[in-house]
Amino acid sequence: MRRAIFPGSFDPLTLGHHDIIMRGITLFDEIIIAIGKNADKKYMFSLEQRIKFIEEAFKDVPSISVKSYEGLTVDFCKKVDANFILRGLRNPGDFEFEKAIAHTNRKLSEIETVFLLTSSGKSYISSSIVRDVIRNGGDYTGLVPDSVRK
């Protein structure tokens, strides 16, 4: 079985994330959306809210699930028997950052990282931009799935 994790904070889930996950599920038998817990980070949405957003967004896709984890992503991969990490790339800056992490993960384990380019119409969307729009009362509805809009 080809099981991948798609790690992130998903604060909140965006249409960019959704795009990568839906395209990634054509490559893997199962994707676990892995919400990493970082005690040093201040989140806009609680872990429970983020899990609910994701579960609702993918409720009709049984091969997609969501779990939270702490610690190294490669250790979580081993725990859930995932051989792949799925990552989305929006721009060259993302590539340089993600490449360094992928090389480190490969050094620590046999986990392979698979990169997908975000669709061109969604490449500008990031969770931090969405949070800024929400904080400032802007219209964020075109940036997130229906589950986050509710």
Cα 52 from chain centroid (whole Å): 14
46 belongs to the catalytic site: no
Annotated ligand binding at 65? The verdict is no
Task: Report which of 6, 24, 10 is spatially closest to residue 53, judged by C-alpha positions.
Answer: 10
127 belongs to the catalytic site: yes
Helix (H) or strand (E) holding 112: strand 112-117
Annotated ligand binding at 41? The verdict is yes
Annotated ligand binding at 127? The verdict is yes
Annotated ligand binding at 101? The verdict is no
63 belongs to the catalytic site: no
Determine if the peptide bond prior to 12 is cis (ω within 30°): yes
Q: Which residue ranges make up the annotated binding site for substrate?
A: 9, 41, 73, 87
Q: Which residue ranges make up the annotated binding site?
A: 9-10, 17, 41, 73, 87-90, 98, 122-128
Q: Give the residue numbers annotated as catalytic, written as ranges.
A: 17, 41, 90, 127
Q: Which residue ranges make up the annotated binding site for ATP?
A: 9-10, 17, 88-90, 98, 122-128
